[in-house]
Structure 1
Amino acid sequence: MDYREIRREKKIRNRKVKRSITIVFFVIIFLLWGIYYLLQSDLLNLKELEVYGNHMITKEEILRTPELSIERNIFQYKPSHIKHQIELHPYVEEAHIKRKLPATIIITVKEREKYAIIPYMGSFIYIDHNKVVLEVSDDYLAEDLVLITGVAFNSFKIGDKLDISNEELLDRAMEYIEASKIVSIADIISEINIDQEGYIKLITFDGIEFLLSNREDPAYTILALKEVLTNLYATNKKNVIVDMRYKGQISIRSREQWEEDR
């Protein structure tokens, strides 16, 4: 092949490369223009908000965040900001945010559940299983929740974990609640008092009082307590105090006898 032929082929290749570069350039420009058009058009403006996982709180409460104003472009919303604002609600433990093109944002929440009630200066504090304060009410309406009395408060704030000085005793009381749920007797427990020195007092809706150790295994103790309850109900004994503070020893006395012995 002579020099002129080589030069001619080189020119052809250069023209093809330039043509390809030009085509790619125009494709990129077209794509960028298309993206810009979509971002500026109403097509991608937020039209719908879907909320899943909420039971205790309403969709309106979740969407009250200022980040979720309608008619903004869907890509102008920052999921991390929305997540943070929604999780400020005391009943929201976790939130997940997802865009769904062209115009929908999907919010999935995991709610905190009421676990117990603590009285405080005429009001009632509702907490979850992590001792986070969910709400404060003047009324005690949730009879399916156990009342925990004797809590020594330092401070509390809705949405934050309780700040108390006898936290270890509160933890033990909640372990007793959890164990009672496992053996299906939680619905008969009215109150657990942790203000006693050296033991915990559990009271049923029937008025039966159980004096429990604050050191023994709650699961074992609750199993024994359930057996004692079964025997008491079988013999129709209710106005009694059951002392289970000492491992392997169970003492059952009437309330009058207990007061006399003290």
Structure 2
Amino acid sequence: MERGQAQRQQQVRRQQSRSRKRKKYTLHYLLLFLFCIGLGLTLCFTVLFKINTIQVENNSYYSSEELISRSGLSKGESLFAFNAGDIEKMLEDRFPYIQSVKVKRRLPTTIILSVTEEVPLGSAYTEEGYSILSESGKVLKVKVNEAPKELPVLLGLEDESFTVGSYLSEVAEAKDGSKSRVLTEKFQRLQRFMTIAEEAAFGNLTYIELTDLGEIKVLYDGRILIDFGSELDLSKKIAFVQKVLEDGIADKHPLSGYTNENFEGTIDITDRKQLRTRALAISTVADQRAFTVFEDEDAFFAEEDEEEPVTEEPEVTEEEAEQEE
């Protein structure tokens, strides 16, 4: 009986010993596996996946060289040795015409900077010069001396002061309640108008005037002032105006001497069911702020520096004054 008990104890000890050996081998294999993984990752970071090509796509306002230089990326460094999010944010903050950037890794050796750019909407007339605004309300440029001809001038924002890279929503938030609402409403009205105009292919707008009363006026082709009134039935009003322009607005004024190509005057479509036209020299009714060319401060001060120095007259002593008398 004692012999049987001893055999069972010996068998238990052998099983425990084998179990310890299996655990030991398992641990060794696990450590070896982790070592191989670590070695592989190290090789990926330091040897295998090094940047050989950096590409920039969908960029038109900034050169690829400028964006790559600002990104801090360089050939020869590891494909995984940088934080893509940090680079994306830095480029978006640094370049106002960039709406977003996506850094893409293409194995084994390529980095792609995929750019989404802001779409310019118009040039806001301000007392400091023109400020270029995007469709999203981002300020792209400020203190521009002359409005770009490819963009409509935006009137009704002359009291605002803009900073490059900021958004109109941020400018509005910094204002008092009523002023904040007015600015926000004006820009939203502008966005709605431009959306409808683009859908109708109604372009060639010289300026867009947003009044505090919620009305919209535009100068078309620098020669026809169109008063749309409120936004009510705006799409129908635009369609009505387009039809009149296509059918020949000058024919409605045969005594004016205008042709369809050079007709100047006004269109009143505040009531979409009734359109009124008037032939007259557009310079008498167009808002001249939209044609302002601001003085270039650098050139102004340069001209001041070039002015001839003023020669000071010598002081006259009391004795000389008495002699003259």
TM range (shorter): 0.7 to 0.9
Equivalent residue of 2:88, what SS?
helix
203-212 or 166-175, which deviates more: 166-175
The alignment status of 1:251 with 2:267, answered yes or no, reads no
1:84 deviates by 0.9
The alignment status of 1:211 with 2:216, answered yes or no, reads no
* Residue pairs, 1:73-222, within 5 angstroms: 73-88=78-93, 89-121=95-127, 123-136=129-142, 137-143=144-150, 145-162=151-168, 163=171, 165=179, 166-167=182-183, 168-187=185-204, 189-195=205-211, 199-205=215-221, 207-222=223-238
Larger of the two Rg values belongs to structure: 2
Gaps of 5+ in 1: none
TM-score of the aligned structures, taking structure 2 as reference length? 0.66
Determine if contact 1:117/1:125 at 8 Å carries over to the other structure: yes
Gaps of 5+ in 2: 173-178, 252-258, 285-325
Q: Which residue of 1 aligns with 2:292?
A: none
Equivalent residue of 2:66, what SS?
helix
Read off the aligned partner of 2:153 and give its amino acid letter: L
Q: Which has the higher strand share?
A: 1
Aligned equivalents of 2:110, 2:241: Cα separation in 1: 53
TM-score of the aligned structures, taking structure 1 as reference length? 0.80
Residues 231 and 33 of structure 1: CA distance in aligned 2, closer, same or farther (over 3 Å): closer
Determine if contact 2:127/2:159 at 8 Å carries over to the other structure: no
Equivalent residue of 1:74, what SS?
coil
1:82 deviates by 0.8
Aligned equivalents of 1:173, 1:15: Cα separation in 2: 78
Aligned length: 254
Equivalent residue of 1:186, what SS?
coil
Q: Which residue of 2 aligns with 1:57?
A: 62
Q: CA RMSD in A?
A: 3.1
Identity %, equivalent residues: 20
Determine if contact 2:126/2:161 at 8 Å carries over to the other structure: no
Equivalent residue of 1:216, what SS?
coil
Determine if contact 1:169/1:214 at 8 Å carries over to the other structure: no
Q: Which has the higher helix share?
A: 2
1:112 deviates by 0.8
Determine if contact 1:239/1:254 at 8 Å carries over to the other structure: yes
Question: Structure 1, residues 147-193: CA drift from partner, whole Å, max 9, x if none?
Answer: 22232332211111233755333432443332222122213x22222
Determine if contact 2:98/2:117 at 8 Å carries over to the other structure: yes
Question: Structure 1, residues 24-83: CA drift from partner, whole Å, max 9, x if none?
Answer: 2233234334434554x3444433322223233322232243543554433331122111
Aligned equivalents of 1:169, 1:245: Cα separation in 2: 18
Aligned equivalents of 2:268, 2:61: Cα separation in 1: 39
